[in-house]
Amino acid sequence: MLEINYIEDLLEVVLGKYNHNFILKTSDTSLLHSFDRQLNKGVALTDRQHNLLRLKLEIYESQFKKQNIPNWSYALNETRSPLREIDRSKTITIIDRQDIVANNRSHHKLKEGKYIKVRFPFNKKFISKLEKVIRGHKQNEYFHEKNSHEHHFFLTALNCYKVVTQFPDWQTDAIITETSKKVKEIIDKKDDYIPIYKDAEFINIDKTIVDQINTTDKKLIADKSIRYGFYIDEAEPKNLLEQICFRNSPTVLADIKKHSIYEVIEILDYLKRYPMLVCLDKEQSFEQLEDIHRAFNKYIDNKEQSVLFRVESSDKTNAPLNNYVKDNNLNNWVDENTKVVYIKKDKLPKVLLKSEFKPQTAVSKSSLRSNRLVTNYVNFNCDLIVYNDTDLSSFRYQYREDFNSWQLANL
């Protein structure tokens, strides 16, 4: 005789393991089989799982009776194994990096420092909210061990705010809560905190920065906004000068169809954008050097310029460059007094790294991509990068007559 003592026995009966034929609701089939797979792995039911399974099986009362299943109503309330206890606490705490217990590569890449640990039992609604916090995080600032209930975020004021905003009622460390409140206060009253130049006045900007800017010319002030980190409001730029001054990112395209390199250099000289790095394409290095150097002749002495490369004699197209450098005395030592340095995009000279020369501006005749070292050097030092080209392209390394496109310098 079939012995039924536990709810697990009833589940097996309903799923036909003892040759009973139960007609199941389509919506129940997947869930019941999921419970069965869990139990076969030796994982006991939790209290909530037990309650849910009991509700689902009670629906089939008439079929239990019709098929003379003994003891079914009693078995609904009994489990073969003790109920599995689940830690349903929802906490947000601060821990050290070494306290994150894990054993995989991403864990070892984490930045040194403290982390916000967000811990909660699995819940789709919570996961959805957490994804809003995770979005945009670097791999070395966020960690989650697979099948774990813990998520770790590098401790920053903004991360405190993001986490508390999504989970305001959870048990949270006081430091995280207080930090979140301060961030919210700044966001709600941003005009009291954001550095901005408005109505001919510097607002929330340190006096030492104002002293360094030292001008009342709005265009010159706007040009320095990225370097010193403040905002400035202005209408749509009407010309290249305003396009450069009121840029909202370092990179500016000076369309070669509208603006010559001479106009570009004239504007950069007006803005006193020295020291300046000129990046030349390998295949057109002589032509570009000659063109840009002539544009600078009106403003800078040759002794304040330096060309940090030479061309192989086998390169017939660019071979005249070596004599041009010699004839124009452009082989000068690079130091803090140098205003313009010329390099090729495919190599970052060591002498440049060792010198006191630190460019604020980078100029190029084309948008051909520089190699990684040159790109990183330019992006780190320069708050203005001007390309005298036609359009945009992110992937070109070599010159093509029929495809003179643009490369974003800040990728």
Six-digit token string for 58: 């009670």
Q: What is the pLDDT of residue 103?
A: 60
Average pLDDT on 347-372 reads: 93
Q: Reply yes or no on whether the pLDDT at 402 is more than 50.
A: no
Alpha-carbon distance of 245 to 382, in angstroms, equals: 14
pTM tops 0.85, yes or no = no
Q: How confident is the model at residue 384 (pLDDT cuts 50, 70, 90)?
A: very high
**Residues 6+ positions from 338 with CB-CB distance below 8 Å:** 275, 304, 305, 306, 332, 355, 357
The CA distances from residue 127 to 43, 100, 120, 278, in Å, are: 23, 20, 9, 49
Q: What is the pLDDT of residue 137?
A: 84
Sign of CA dihedral 128, 133, 139, 144: negative
Six-digit token string for 164: 């508390």
Average pLDDT on 186-211 reads: 89
Burial of 86-120, coded b for 16+ CB within 10 Å and e otherwise, reads eeeebebebbebeebebeeeeeeebeeeebbbbbb
Quick one: which of 223, 187, 230 has its CA closest to 205? 230
Alpha-carbon distance of 209 to 224, in angstroms, equals: 10
Pseudo-torsion of CA 258, 260, 265, 267, nearest 10°? -30
Q: Reply yes or no on whether the pLDDT at 1 is more than 60.
A: no
Average pLDDT on 57-65 reads: 94
Average pLDDT on 311-340 reads: 95
User: Any idea which residue has 């930090």 for tokens?
Assistant: 179
Quick one: which of 351, 354, 289 has its CA closest to 322? 289
Average pLDDT in the chain: 90
Q: Reply yes or no on whether the pLDDT at 362 is more than 80.
A: yes
Domain boundaries, the chain: 7-75, 91-173, 196-232, 240-387
- Tens digits of per-residue pLDDT, 206-239? 999 999 999 999 999 999 999 999 999 777 889 9
Q: Reply yes or no on whether the pLDDT at 403 is more than 70.
A: no
Best CATH choice for the domain 240-387 from the list 3.30.450, 3.40.50, 3.30.70, 1.10.3860:
3.40.50
